[in-house]
Amino acid sequence: MDQESKKLLEELNNSHSLTVEQYQYLIEHMDSQLLELAAEYARAYQHQYYGNKVYTRGLVEFTNFCRNNCYYCGIRRDNIQCERYRLSKSDIIECADTGYKLGFRTTVLQGGEDFAYSDQDICEIVRSIKKLHPDMVVTLSIGERSKESYQAYFDAGASRYLLRHETANPELYAKLHPASMSWENRMNCLRDLREIGYQVGAGFMVESPGQTAKDLAMDLKFVEEFKPDMCGIGPYISHKDTPFAKEASGTLETTLLCLSLIRIIYPQVLLPATTALGTIHPKGREMGIQAGANVVMPNLSPGSVRKKYSLYDNKICTGEEAAECIVCLKNRVSSIGYEIVEDPGNRAGF
């Protein structure tokens, strides 16, 4: 590690802020020593705010129909190889209920942008889960909607929303998405969600096709300024049936560095060790936690549909049952001295 990187990391650790150019410098000068020092600083905050606790979210991938056509994503509209499915309302509620019984106190209902579910349907599902388990936090992750819709879901009892910003650079956004999709609209959605009172999750892919160190630096600056309650990041992983099939996937090291830097930038942030990270390396999620992550999001979807929610190739945990994943994760987490807890897992200070 060079002297300048060391100085910048110390400055970040003291002020939780750097310029885009300084973030870029750190990314461009990454080596094993820099990774280790960033992880050390990150772990100190992780322990200060969350101890050795790791929170879980039970993910229900309830539809893989999507009106969008993001070039990187396996469930994009034009992928005719993708076998589509939709879970019924009662199936979705049952998944959440199973999750509750397995110890989850948060469920994330995630899907493609599928307007076959009306606002009323979504509200009904949320209300039913809240009625069944008032202490279960319901998180939605169903893409870009109007502020009125977001408000309706909130009033029905949803209290968190995940919407990755994907990239903080509008020019890169335009290379990853068709012209029909708007970076401005996505950013406005994040602001609307926050105004309504949701705990908001943003996030981005690491080393997506065409992404530069400066682009990543802009993502870090965005996290510094917007301070999302949660920040979901994972490596880009190519999917064979997308226009980006031949693009290289992101690396473990860059993802770990971003996790540590985000923990230092915003010490209280909720930071998942994502399935994508577990997909590019057998110990990816464990390493993510040791780099500062404090959340894992195992899958609660019925076994029959899991393989079909294929955002990228070789996704892990598609053959396992929810109960098996949770046992596996408990073992993985305890093997590195952390502990999975039965807790809704709010952002510290929320």
Binding piece for ligand 5AD, criterion CB under 6 A, among 33-41, 118-126, 234-242, 301-309: 234-242
100 and 344 Cβ atoms separated by less than 8 Å = no
Strand partners for 299: 59
Number of chain residues interacting with ligand FES (CB under 6 A): 7
Q: Which one of 10-18, 38-46, 121-129, 233-241 is the stretch in contact with ligand 5AD (CB under 6 A)?
A: 233-241
Residue 325 is a binding residue for ligand FES (CB under 6 A) = yes
Using rule CB under 6 A, residue 220 touches ligand 5AD? no
Residues within window 112-131 making contact with ligand 5AD, judged by CB under 6 A: none
Number of H helices, E strands in the chain: 14, 9
CB of 325 to ligand FES, least distance (A): 3
Distance of CA 142 to the CA centre of its chain: 13
Q: Is 336 in the site for ligand FES (CB under 6 A)?
A: no
Binding region for ligand 5AD (CB under 6 A) out of 3-11, 131-139, 174-182, 232-240: 232-240
Phi, psi (rounded to 5 degrees) for 306? -55, -45
Q: Phi-psi region for residue 19, left (φ > 0), alpha (ψ -120 to 50) or beta?
A: beta
Contacts of 88 (CB under 8 A, 6+ apart): none
The two structure tokens encoding residue 285: 């999620």
Q: State the binding string over 236-255 for ligand 5AD (x if CB under 6 A, else -).
A: xx-x----------------
| Residue 166 binds to ligand 5AD (criterion: CB under 6 A) | yes
User: Strand pairing of 230-235 and 339-340?
Assistant: unpaired
329 binds ligand FES (CB under 6 A): yes
Among 18, 54, 73, 158, binds ligand 5AD (CB under 6 A): 73
Residue 338, binding choice from ligand 5AD, ligand FES, none, Cβ under 5 to 8 Å by partner class: none
Distance CA 320, CA 314 (A): 14
Radius of gyration of the chain (CA): 19
Q: Quick one: which H or E segment has residue 339?
A: strand 339-340
Q: Which parts of this chain interact with ligand 5AD (CB under 6 A)?
A: 72-73, 164, 166, 205, 234, 236-237, 239, 276, 311-312
Q: Which parts of this chain interact with ligand FES (CB under 6 A)?
A: 298, 317, 320, 324-325, 328-329
